[in-house]
Amino acid sequence: MKKEWFRFEGMPKVNIQAGMSYTFFYKKDYLQEYIQKVLGIKDYPQQELVIEFKKGSCVLYYCSPSIDLLADKICKKTFDNPKWALKINSDVRKRSNALFRLSKKMLKTDFSKFSDKKLSQMYYKYYSAQVAMHSAGWYGNMADYDGIYAKKLLNLLVDKVKGTSISVQEALQILTSTKELSFAMKEELDLLESIIIIKKLKAEKTFTKRPETKKHIEEHTKKHGWLAYGHEGPGWGEDYFIERIQTIITEKASPEKLIQELKNKIEQEETEKKELIKKLELNKKDQNRFKVFSQIMFLKGYRKDSMFFGAKARDYLFSEIVKRKNLTIKEIWYVKFEEMNDFILKNKFSKKELKQRFDYYVMHYQAGKGFKSYHGLKGKEFLKKLPWQKKETKEVTELKGMCASIGTAKGKVKIICLAEDMIKMNKGDILVSEATNPELLPAMKKAAAIVTNIGGITCHAAIVSRELGVPCVIGTKNATNVLKDGDLVEVDANKGIVRKIK
Protein backbone atom coordinates (compact mmCIF):
# COMPACT_ATOMS: atom_id res chain seq x y z
CA MET A 1 0.00 0.00 0.00
CA LYS A 2 1.63 3.22 -1.23
CA LYS A 3 1.54 6.00 1.33
CA GLU A 4 0.77 9.59 0.35
CA TRP A 5 0.61 12.41 2.86
CA PHE A 6 -1.57 15.48 2.44
CA ARG A 7 -2.33 18.69 4.31
CA PHE A 8 -5.75 18.31 5.92
CA GLU A 9 -6.27 21.44 8.01
CA GLY A 10 -4.47 24.49 9.32
CA MET A 11 -5.60 25.64 12.76
CA PRO A 12 -4.72 29.03 14.25
CA LYS A 13 -4.05 29.45 17.96
CA VAL A 14 -3.40 25.80 18.72
CA ASN A 15 -0.60 24.99 21.17
CA ILE A 16 0.94 21.66 22.12
CA GLN A 17 -1.40 21.21 25.10
CA ALA A 18 -4.36 21.43 22.69
CA GLY A 19 -2.72 19.63 19.78
CA MET A 20 -1.36 16.72 21.81
CA SER A 21 -4.83 15.22 22.11
CA TYR A 22 -4.61 14.58 18.35
CA THR A 23 -1.88 12.05 19.14
CA PHE A 24 -4.49 10.11 21.20
CA PHE A 25 -1.84 8.60 23.43
CA TYR A 26 -1.60 8.78 27.22
CA LYS A 27 -0.44 5.53 28.84
CA LYS A 28 -2.47 3.74 26.17
CA ASP A 29 -3.57 4.30 22.56
CA TYR A 30 -7.01 5.89 22.97
CA LEU A 31 -7.75 6.04 19.25
CA GLN A 32 -6.87 2.43 18.51
CA GLU A 33 -8.86 1.28 21.53
CA TYR A 34 -11.83 3.40 20.43
CA ILE A 35 -11.84 2.12 16.85
CA GLN A 36 -11.46 -1.53 17.83
CA LYS A 37 -13.45 -1.83 21.07
CA VAL A 38 -16.14 0.86 20.78
CA LEU A 39 -16.70 0.96 17.02
CA GLY A 40 -15.89 -2.74 16.58
CA ILE A 41 -13.92 -2.10 13.38
CA LYS A 42 -11.48 -4.87 12.53
CA ASP A 43 -8.90 -5.41 9.78
CA TYR A 44 -8.33 -1.78 8.99
CA PRO A 45 -5.03 -0.09 8.09
CA GLN A 46 -3.28 1.40 11.09
CA GLN A 47 -3.64 5.16 11.23
CA GLU A 48 -0.93 7.80 11.17
CA LEU A 49 -1.03 11.55 11.46
CA VAL A 50 1.43 14.39 11.76
CA ILE A 51 0.94 17.70 13.57
CA GLU A 52 3.21 20.61 12.73
CA PHE A 53 3.38 23.44 15.29
CA LYS A 54 4.75 26.79 14.20
CA LYS A 55 4.65 30.11 16.08
CA GLY A 56 1.36 29.46 17.88
CA SER A 57 -0.57 27.66 15.13
CA CYS A 58 -0.58 24.12 13.78
CA VAL A 59 -1.22 22.12 10.63
CA LEU A 60 -2.71 18.63 10.63
CA TYR A 61 -1.54 16.10 8.02
CA TYR A 62 -3.20 12.77 7.21
CA CYS A 63 -1.94 9.72 5.38
CA SER A 64 -3.76 8.24 2.40
CA PRO A 65 -5.07 5.66 1.59
CA SER A 66 -5.20 4.36 5.19
CA ILE A 67 -7.56 7.12 6.33
CA ASP A 68 -9.82 6.63 3.28
CA LEU A 69 -10.08 2.88 3.89
CA LEU A 70 -10.94 3.35 7.57
CA ALA A 71 -13.53 6.00 6.68
CA ASP A 72 -15.15 3.66 4.14
CA LYS A 73 -15.49 0.93 6.78
CA ILE A 74 -17.02 3.26 9.38
CA CYS A 75 -19.34 4.89 6.83
CA LYS A 76 -20.55 1.50 5.55
CA LYS A 77 -21.24 0.21 9.06
CA THR A 78 -23.11 3.44 9.90
CA PHE A 79 -25.29 3.24 6.78
CA ASP A 80 -25.95 -0.51 7.09
CA ASN A 81 -26.71 -0.42 10.81
CA PRO A 82 -28.14 2.98 11.84
CA LYS A 83 -29.40 1.62 15.20
CA TRP A 84 -25.79 0.83 16.10
CA ALA A 85 -24.76 4.30 14.92
CA LEU A 86 -27.35 5.96 17.17
CA LYS A 87 -25.77 4.17 20.15
CA ILE A 88 -22.33 5.41 19.10
CA ASN A 89 -23.67 8.95 18.93
CA SER A 90 -24.99 8.53 22.49
CA ASP A 91 -21.49 7.53 23.57
CA VAL A 92 -19.99 10.63 21.90
CA ARG A 93 -22.45 12.80 23.84
CA LYS A 94 -21.66 10.94 27.06
CA ARG A 95 -17.92 11.58 26.67
CA SER A 96 -18.51 15.25 25.85
CA ASN A 97 -20.76 15.60 28.90
CA ALA A 98 -18.08 14.01 31.08
CA LEU A 99 -15.61 16.69 29.98
CA PHE A 100 -18.21 19.43 30.53
CA ARG A 101 -18.94 18.17 34.06
CA LEU A 102 -15.27 17.92 35.00
CA SER A 103 -14.53 21.37 33.54
CA LYS A 104 -17.41 22.98 35.47
CA LYS A 105 -16.12 21.37 38.67
CA MET A 106 -12.60 22.63 37.95
CA LEU A 107 -13.79 26.20 37.37
CA LYS A 108 -15.50 26.17 40.79
CA THR A 109 -12.44 24.78 42.59
CA ASP A 110 -10.03 26.86 44.65
CA PHE A 111 -6.76 25.37 43.41
CA SER A 112 -4.69 27.60 45.71
CA LYS A 113 -5.54 25.09 48.47
CA PHE A 114 -4.24 22.13 46.44
CA SER A 115 -0.85 20.57 47.02
CA ASP A 116 1.43 20.19 43.97
CA LYS A 117 0.61 16.50 43.93
CA LYS A 118 -3.15 17.20 43.80
CA LEU A 119 -2.62 19.75 41.02
CA SER A 120 -0.77 17.12 38.99
CA GLN A 121 -3.51 14.56 39.61
CA MET A 122 -6.18 17.05 38.51
CA TYR A 123 -4.27 17.82 35.31
CA TYR A 124 -4.08 14.14 34.33
CA LYS A 125 -7.74 13.62 35.20
CA TYR A 126 -8.60 16.51 32.85
CA TYR A 127 -6.29 15.28 30.12
CA SER A 128 -7.70 11.74 30.22
CA ALA A 129 -11.25 13.11 29.82
CA GLN A 130 -10.09 15.38 26.99
CA VAL A 131 -8.41 12.56 25.03
CA ALA A 132 -11.35 10.19 25.64
CA MET A 133 -13.69 12.82 24.19
CA HIS A 134 -11.39 13.74 21.33
CA SER A 135 -10.85 10.16 20.15
CA ALA A 136 -14.65 9.74 19.96
CA GLY A 137 -14.68 12.60 17.48
CA TRP A 138 -13.20 10.24 14.94
CA TYR A 139 -16.54 8.48 14.59
CA GLY A 140 -18.42 11.43 13.08
CA ASN A 141 -15.37 12.68 11.21
CA MET A 142 -14.79 9.30 9.56
CA ALA A 143 -18.45 8.40 8.99
CA ASP A 144 -18.78 11.45 6.75
CA TYR A 145 -15.15 11.88 5.73
CA ASP A 146 -15.02 13.94 2.53
CA GLY A 147 -18.85 13.85 2.49
CA ILE A 148 -19.12 10.08 1.89
CA TYR A 149 -22.11 9.51 4.18
CA ALA A 150 -23.93 12.58 2.81
CA LYS A 151 -23.43 11.19 -0.70
CA LYS A 152 -25.04 7.90 0.35
CA LEU A 153 -28.04 9.80 1.69
CA LEU A 154 -28.27 11.90 -1.48
CA ASN A 155 -28.19 8.73 -3.61
CA LEU A 156 -30.92 7.23 -1.44
CA LEU A 157 -33.07 10.31 -2.14
CA VAL A 158 -32.63 10.45 -5.93
CA ASP A 159 -35.46 8.06 -6.79
CA LYS A 160 -37.63 9.09 -3.84
CA VAL A 161 -37.87 12.78 -4.85
CA LYS A 162 -38.78 12.00 -8.47
CA GLY A 163 -42.16 13.44 -9.30
CA THR A 164 -41.94 15.97 -6.45
CA SER A 165 -41.02 19.66 -6.57
CA ILE A 166 -38.18 19.23 -4.10
CA SER A 167 -34.49 18.71 -4.94
CA VAL A 168 -32.30 16.07 -3.29
CA GLN A 169 -30.26 18.82 -1.57
CA GLU A 170 -33.41 20.45 -0.16
CA ALA A 171 -34.69 17.07 1.00
CA LEU A 172 -31.40 16.27 2.73
CA GLN A 173 -31.39 19.62 4.54
CA ILE A 174 -34.98 19.16 5.75
CA LEU A 175 -34.51 15.55 6.83
CA THR A 176 -31.33 16.27 8.79
CA SER A 177 -32.54 19.39 10.60
CA THR A 178 -32.65 19.28 14.40
CA LYS A 179 -34.78 21.00 17.02
CA GLU A 180 -31.92 20.78 19.52
CA LEU A 181 -30.38 24.19 20.14
CA SER A 182 -26.62 24.70 19.94
CA PHE A 183 -24.87 26.68 22.67
CA ALA A 184 -24.56 29.57 20.22
CA MET A 185 -28.32 29.65 19.66
CA LYS A 186 -28.97 29.45 23.40
CA GLU A 187 -26.67 32.45 23.84
CA GLU A 188 -28.60 34.37 21.17
CA LEU A 189 -31.90 33.73 22.95
CA ASP A 190 -30.47 34.72 26.34
CA LEU A 191 -29.11 37.97 24.88
CA LEU A 192 -32.49 38.81 23.39
CA GLU A 193 -34.13 38.17 26.77
CA SER A 194 -31.64 40.61 28.33
CA ILE A 195 -32.62 43.25 25.75
CA ILE A 196 -36.29 42.77 26.67
CA ILE A 197 -35.37 43.55 30.30
CA ILE A 198 -33.34 46.61 29.20
CA LYS A 199 -36.30 47.91 27.19
CA LYS A 200 -38.77 47.34 30.04
CA LEU A 201 -36.50 49.43 32.29
CA LYS A 202 -36.24 52.07 29.52
CA ALA A 203 -32.48 51.74 29.85
CA GLU A 204 -31.57 51.63 26.14
CA LYS A 205 -29.09 54.49 26.56
CA THR A 206 -27.96 53.75 30.11
CA PHE A 207 -27.80 49.92 30.29
CA THR A 208 -23.98 49.92 30.58
CA LYS A 209 -24.18 52.05 33.74
CA ARG A 210 -27.30 50.92 35.60
CA PRO A 211 -26.48 48.29 38.27
CA GLU A 212 -29.37 45.93 37.41
CA THR A 213 -28.60 45.87 33.66
CA LYS A 214 -24.83 45.77 34.21
CA LYS A 215 -25.40 42.65 36.31
CA HIS A 216 -27.27 41.00 33.41
CA ILE A 217 -24.34 41.67 31.08
CA GLU A 218 -21.84 40.36 33.63
CA GLU A 219 -23.86 37.17 34.13
CA HIS A 220 -24.35 36.75 30.37
CA THR A 221 -20.59 37.09 29.78
CA LYS A 222 -19.80 34.60 32.54
CA LYS A 223 -22.31 32.11 31.13
CA HIS A 224 -21.52 32.45 27.42
CA GLY A 225 -18.18 34.20 26.94
CA TRP A 226 -16.33 30.87 26.74
CA LEU A 227 -18.02 30.05 23.41
CA ALA A 228 -15.20 31.88 21.63
CA TYR A 229 -12.44 30.60 23.94
CA GLY A 230 -11.09 28.17 21.37
CA HIS A 231 -7.88 26.48 22.48
CA GLU A 232 -6.21 29.55 23.99
CA GLY A 233 -8.85 32.11 24.92
CA PRO A 234 -9.64 34.69 26.03
CA GLY A 235 -13.21 34.28 24.71
CA TRP A 236 -15.78 37.04 24.44
CA GLY A 237 -15.77 39.81 27.01
CA GLU A 238 -18.49 42.23 28.08
CA ASP A 239 -17.56 44.69 25.31
CA TYR A 240 -18.54 42.15 22.64
CA PHE A 241 -22.00 41.58 24.12
CA ILE A 242 -22.54 45.30 24.77
CA GLU A 243 -21.80 46.01 21.10
CA ARG A 244 -24.31 43.38 19.99
CA ILE A 245 -26.98 44.77 22.32
CA GLN A 246 -26.35 48.30 21.02
CA THR A 247 -26.61 47.09 17.41
CA ILE A 248 -29.99 45.44 18.00
CA ILE A 249 -31.28 48.52 19.87
CA THR A 250 -29.98 50.90 17.15
CA GLU A 251 -31.58 48.82 14.39
CA LYS A 252 -34.84 49.01 16.37
CA ALA A 253 -35.28 45.28 16.06
CA SER A 254 -37.90 43.74 18.32
CA PRO A 255 -36.24 41.11 20.57
CA GLU A 256 -39.66 39.49 21.17
CA LYS A 257 -40.14 39.16 17.42
CA LEU A 258 -36.64 37.74 16.89
CA ILE A 259 -37.22 35.13 19.61
CA GLN A 260 -40.56 34.15 18.10
CA GLU A 261 -39.02 33.93 14.61
CA LEU A 262 -36.41 31.50 15.89
CA LYS A 263 -39.00 29.35 17.65
CA ASN A 264 -41.22 29.41 14.53
CA LYS A 265 -38.26 28.35 12.38
CA ILE A 266 -37.58 25.32 14.58
CA GLU A 267 -41.27 24.32 14.63
CA GLN A 268 -41.54 24.81 10.85
CA GLU A 269 -38.48 22.63 10.23
CA GLU A 270 -39.90 19.87 12.41
CA THR A 271 -43.24 20.04 10.60
CA GLU A 272 -41.54 19.99 7.19
CA LYS A 273 -39.45 17.01 8.25
CA LYS A 274 -42.50 14.99 9.38
CA GLU A 275 -44.40 15.86 6.20
CA LEU A 276 -41.47 14.94 3.97
CA ILE A 277 -40.90 11.61 5.73
CA LYS A 278 -44.53 10.79 5.02
CA LYS A 279 -44.41 12.11 1.45
CA LEU A 280 -41.28 10.13 0.54
CA GLU A 281 -42.57 7.05 2.40
CA LEU A 282 -39.32 6.58 4.29
CA ASN A 283 -39.18 3.36 6.29
CA LYS A 284 -37.86 3.27 9.86
CA LYS A 285 -34.35 2.25 8.82
CA ASP A 286 -34.05 5.14 6.36
CA GLN A 287 -35.46 7.55 8.94
CA ASN A 288 -32.76 6.41 11.35
CA ARG A 289 -30.11 6.93 8.67
CA PHE A 290 -31.07 10.60 8.45
CA LYS A 291 -31.41 10.84 12.22
CA VAL A 292 -27.86 9.53 12.62
CA PHE A 293 -26.58 12.22 10.28
CA SER A 294 -28.55 14.94 12.05
CA GLN A 295 -27.02 13.84 15.36
CA ILE A 296 -23.50 13.70 13.89
CA MET A 297 -23.91 17.29 12.72
CA PHE A 298 -25.11 18.51 16.11
CA LEU A 299 -22.59 16.50 18.11
CA LYS A 300 -19.63 17.75 16.12
CA GLY A 301 -20.35 21.25 17.39
CA TYR A 302 -21.28 20.00 20.86
CA ARG A 303 -18.07 18.01 21.17
CA LYS A 304 -15.95 20.98 20.10
CA ASP A 305 -17.77 23.19 22.59
CA SER A 306 -16.83 20.73 25.33
CA MET A 307 -13.22 20.91 24.13
CA PHE A 308 -13.19 24.73 24.24
CA PHE A 309 -14.89 24.85 27.64
CA GLY A 310 -12.32 22.29 28.78
CA ALA A 311 -9.50 24.54 27.54
CA LYS A 312 -10.87 27.35 29.70
CA ALA A 313 -10.88 25.03 32.74
CA ARG A 314 -7.38 23.76 31.87
CA ASP A 315 -6.02 27.32 31.77
CA TYR A 316 -7.74 28.11 35.06
CA LEU A 317 -5.82 25.17 36.56
CA PHE A 318 -2.64 26.33 34.84
CA SER A 319 -3.03 29.83 36.30
CA GLU A 320 -2.44 28.35 39.76
CA ILE A 321 0.44 26.13 38.62
CA VAL A 322 2.38 28.97 36.95
CA LYS A 323 2.03 31.11 40.10
CA ARG A 324 4.21 28.50 41.81
CA LYS A 325 6.70 28.20 38.96
CA ASN A 326 8.78 30.63 36.96
CA LEU A 327 6.59 30.27 33.86
CA THR A 328 3.76 32.00 32.01
CA ILE A 329 0.52 30.42 30.74
CA LYS A 330 1.86 30.66 27.17
CA GLU A 331 4.98 28.76 28.19
CA ILE A 332 3.16 25.98 30.07
CA TRP A 333 1.10 25.36 26.91
CA TYR A 334 4.29 23.85 25.47
CA VAL A 335 4.96 21.42 28.32
CA LYS A 336 4.00 17.94 27.05
CA PHE A 337 1.58 15.83 29.05
CA GLU A 338 4.17 13.15 29.93
CA GLU A 339 6.39 15.91 31.37
CA MET A 340 3.72 17.64 33.44
CA ASN A 341 4.13 15.54 36.59
CA ASP A 342 7.88 16.19 36.81
CA PHE A 343 7.31 19.84 35.95
CA ILE A 344 4.78 20.34 38.77
CA LEU A 345 6.43 18.16 41.42
CA LYS A 346 10.14 18.61 40.60
CA ASN A 347 10.16 21.94 38.76
CA LYS A 348 11.82 20.08 35.89
CA PHE A 349 11.66 22.01 32.61
CA SER A 350 13.76 23.97 30.13
CA LYS A 351 12.59 27.40 28.97
CA LYS A 352 14.86 27.04 25.96
CA GLU A 353 13.14 23.77 24.99
CA LEU A 354 9.66 25.31 25.40
CA LYS A 355 10.68 28.24 23.18
CA GLN A 356 11.98 25.81 20.53
CA ARG A 357 8.64 23.97 20.58
CA PHE A 358 6.76 27.22 20.09
CA ASP A 359 9.02 28.16 17.17
CA TYR A 360 8.77 24.85 15.33
CA TYR A 361 7.76 21.36 16.47
CA VAL A 362 6.49 18.22 14.79
CA MET A 363 4.63 15.27 16.35
CA HIS A 364 4.15 11.99 14.45
CA TYR A 365 1.46 9.58 15.72
CA GLN A 366 1.45 5.92 14.66
CA ALA A 367 -1.30 3.61 15.93
CA GLY A 368 -0.04 1.20 18.57
CA LYS A 369 3.37 2.89 18.71
CA GLY A 370 2.52 6.24 20.27
CA PHE A 371 4.27 9.28 18.86
CA LYS A 372 7.69 10.70 18.11
CA SER A 373 8.61 14.37 18.36
CA TYR A 374 11.05 16.56 16.46
CA HIS A 375 11.83 20.25 16.70
CA GLY A 376 13.62 22.76 14.53
CA LEU A 377 15.54 21.49 11.53
CA LYS A 378 14.94 17.81 12.41
CA GLY A 379 11.18 18.38 12.22
CA LYS A 380 11.45 20.11 8.85
CA GLU A 381 13.66 17.33 7.50
CA PHE A 382 11.20 14.69 8.74
CA LEU A 383 8.31 16.39 6.91
CA LYS A 384 10.37 16.84 3.76
CA LYS A 385 11.13 13.10 3.56
CA LEU A 386 7.47 12.06 3.69
CA PRO A 387 5.86 10.99 0.38
CA TRP A 388 3.43 13.81 -0.50
CA GLN A 389 0.42 13.91 -2.79
CA LYS A 390 1.08 15.98 -5.92
CA LYS A 391 -0.69 19.34 -6.15
CA GLU A 392 -2.43 20.72 -9.22
CA THR A 393 -1.18 24.16 -10.31
CA LYS A 394 -3.59 25.08 -13.13
CA GLU A 395 -5.51 28.37 -13.02
CA VAL A 396 -8.98 28.03 -11.52
CA THR A 397 -12.01 30.29 -12.05
CA GLU A 398 -14.63 27.89 -10.66
CA LEU A 399 -14.49 25.97 -7.41
CA LYS A 400 -16.47 22.83 -6.69
CA GLY A 401 -17.40 21.70 -3.20
CA MET A 402 -20.38 20.31 -1.32
CA CYS A 403 -23.64 22.02 -0.46
CA ALA A 404 -23.87 22.53 3.29
CA SER A 405 -26.77 24.99 3.26
CA ILE A 406 -28.89 25.70 0.19
CA GLY A 407 -29.22 29.06 -1.56
CA THR A 408 -27.38 31.44 -3.87
CA ALA A 409 -25.52 34.70 -3.30
CA LYS A 410 -23.24 37.18 -5.02
CA GLY A 411 -20.69 39.42 -3.33
CA LYS A 412 -17.12 40.41 -2.59
CA VAL A 413 -14.75 37.86 -1.11
CA LYS A 414 -13.24 38.40 2.33
CA ILE A 415 -10.68 35.83 3.52
CA ILE A 416 -11.44 35.33 7.23
CA CYS A 417 -9.30 32.73 9.00
CA LEU A 418 -8.43 34.56 12.23
CA ALA A 419 -10.44 36.69 14.64
CA GLU A 420 -8.30 39.69 13.72
CA ASP A 421 -9.40 39.29 10.07
CA MET A 422 -13.02 40.08 11.00
CA ILE A 423 -12.45 43.83 10.96
CA LYS A 424 -12.54 43.79 7.14
CA MET A 425 -15.86 41.89 6.98
CA ASN A 426 -18.90 43.90 5.83
CA LYS A 427 -22.53 42.84 5.68
CA GLY A 428 -23.20 41.05 2.38
CA ASP A 429 -19.59 39.91 1.81
CA ILE A 430 -18.76 36.30 0.94
CA LEU A 431 -16.81 34.82 3.84
CA VAL A 432 -14.05 32.49 2.63
CA SER A 433 -12.05 30.51 5.19
CA GLU A 434 -9.96 27.40 5.56
CA ALA A 435 -12.41 26.27 8.23
CA THR A 436 -14.62 28.33 10.52
CA ASN A 437 -14.78 28.20 14.31
CA PRO A 438 -16.94 29.85 17.01
CA GLU A 439 -14.54 32.78 17.29
CA LEU A 440 -15.50 33.79 13.72
CA LEU A 441 -19.25 33.83 14.45
CA PRO A 442 -19.61 37.66 14.35
CA ALA A 443 -18.24 37.68 10.78
CA MET A 444 -20.37 34.69 9.76
CA LYS A 445 -23.50 36.60 10.80
CA LYS A 446 -22.62 39.34 8.28
CA ALA A 447 -21.94 36.93 5.39
CA ALA A 448 -24.16 36.59 2.32
CA ALA A 449 -22.58 33.16 1.85
CA ILE A 450 -19.83 31.05 3.43
CA VAL A 451 -17.16 29.07 1.55
CA THR A 452 -14.51 26.83 3.14
CA ASN A 453 -11.53 24.77 2.01
CA ILE A 454 -12.27 21.77 4.18
CA GLY A 455 -15.12 20.05 6.00
CA GLY A 456 -18.06 17.82 5.35
CA ILE A 457 -21.72 18.60 5.97
CA THR A 458 -21.09 18.06 9.68
CA CYS A 459 -18.45 20.81 10.00
CA HIS A 460 -18.82 24.06 11.97
CA ALA A 461 -19.47 26.17 8.85
CA ALA A 462 -22.25 23.80 7.75
CA ILE A 463 -23.96 23.77 11.13
CA VAL A 464 -23.86 27.55 11.63
CA SER A 465 -24.84 28.39 8.05
CA ARG A 466 -27.98 26.27 8.45
CA GLU A 467 -28.84 28.00 11.71
CA LEU A 468 -28.36 31.39 10.04
CA GLY A 469 -30.11 30.39 6.79
CA VAL A 470 -27.03 31.38 4.77
CA PRO A 471 -25.84 29.56 1.59
CA CYS A 472 -22.70 27.55 2.29
CA VAL A 473 -20.27 25.54 0.15
CA ILE A 474 -17.71 23.45 2.00
CA GLY A 475 -14.82 21.20 0.96
CA THR A 476 -13.57 23.29 -1.98
CA LYS A 477 -10.00 22.34 -0.93
CA ASN A 478 -8.29 25.55 -2.07
CA ALA A 479 -10.72 28.50 -1.97
CA THR A 480 -8.37 30.58 0.20
CA ASN A 481 -5.60 30.11 -2.39
CA VAL A 482 -7.68 30.68 -5.54
CA LEU A 483 -9.69 33.65 -4.23
CA LYS A 484 -8.46 36.91 -2.73
CA ASP A 485 -10.03 39.83 -0.87
CA GLY A 486 -12.25 41.90 -3.15
CA ASP A 487 -12.88 39.23 -5.79
CA LEU A 488 -16.49 39.28 -7.00
CA VAL A 489 -17.94 35.77 -6.85
CA GLU A 490 -21.23 33.98 -7.33
CA VAL A 491 -22.05 31.19 -4.89
CA ASP A 492 -24.53 28.53 -5.99
CA ALA A 493 -24.68 26.38 -2.88
CA ASN A 494 -27.44 24.21 -4.39
CA LYS A 495 -24.85 22.89 -6.85
CA GLY A 496 -21.83 23.32 -4.59
CA ILE A 497 -20.23 25.81 -7.02
CA VAL A 498 -18.32 29.08 -6.47
CA ARG A 499 -17.59 31.10 -9.62
CA LYS A 500 -15.32 34.10 -10.11
CA ILE A 501 -17.21 36.85 -11.96
CA LYS A 502 -14.99 38.62 -14.49
Q: Which residues contact 68 (CB under 8 A, 6 or more apart)?
A: 145, 146
pLDDT computed for residue 152 by the predictor: 96
> φ, ψ for residue 206 (rounded to 5)?
-125, 10
Collapse the DSSP code of 62 into the 3-class scheme (helix H, G, I; strand E, B; otherwise coil) and give the result.
strand
pLDDT computed for residue 404 by the predictor: 87
> φ, ψ for residue 103 (rounded to 5)?
-65, -40
DSSP state of 48: E
Q: How many CA atoms lie within 13 A of 496 on its CB side?
A: 19
Over 70: is that where the pLDDT of 414 sits?
A: yes
Over 70: is that where the pLDDT of 292 sits?
A: yes
The pTM for the full model equals 0.91
Average pLDDT over residues 343-358: 93
Over 90: is that where the pLDDT of 302 sits?
A: yes
The per-residue pLDDT for range 103-142, each reduced to its tens digit, is 999 999 999 999 999 999 999 999 999 999 999 999 999 9
pLDDT computed for residue 418 by the predictor: 83
Collapse the DSSP code of 93 into the 3-class scheme (helix H, G, I; strand E, B; otherwise coil) and give the result.
helix
Q: Where are the beta strands (DSSP E) in 359-440?
A: 361-366, 370-375, 398-400, 402-405, 408-415, 430-433
pLDDT computed for residue 392 by the predictor: 66
DSSP assignment string, 437-484: -GGGHHHHTT-SEEEESS--TTSHHHHHHHHHT--EEE--SSHHHH--
The per-residue pLDDT for range 192-251, each reduced to its tens digit, is 999 999 999 999 999 999 999 999 999 999 999 999 999 999 999 999 999 999 999 998
Q: Where are the beta strands (DSSP E) in 13-87?
A: 48-54, 57-64
Over 70: is that where the pLDDT of 94 sits?
A: yes
Average pLDDT over residues 309-322: 98
The residues pairing with 244 across neighbouring beta strands, listed in sequence order, are none
Over 70: is that where the pLDDT of 352 sits?
A: yes
Highest average pLDDT, of 85-94, 478-487, 488-497, comes from 85-94
AA letter at 500: K
Pairing of strands 449-452, 430-433: parallel
DSSP assignment string, 276-345: HHHHTT--HHHHHHHHHHHHHHHHHHHHHHHHHHHHHHHHHHHHHHHHHTT--HHHHTTS-GGGHHHHHH
Lowest mean pLDDT across 70-79, 250-259, 371-380, 458-467:
458-467
Highest average pLDDT, of 14-23, 284-293, 389-398, comes from 284-293
Whole-number percent of the chain with pLDDT over 90: 78
CATH class, domain 398-500, is alpha beta
pLDDT computed for residue 14 by the predictor: 93
Q: Return mean pLDDT, the chain.
A: 92
Over 80: is that where the pLDDT of 178 sits?
A: yes
The per-residue pLDDT for range 427-469, each reduced to its tens digit, is 999 999 988 888 888 999 999 999 998 876 667 888 888 888 8
Cα separation of 281 and 216, whole Å?
A: 48
Cα separation of 17 and 314, whole Å?
A: 9
AA letter at 178: T
Pairing of strands 48-54, 57-64: antiparallel
Any idea where the domains of the chain sit in the sequence?
Answer: 4-148+294-385, 167-279, 398-500
Angle at 417 between CA 413 and CA 420, to 5 degrees: 100
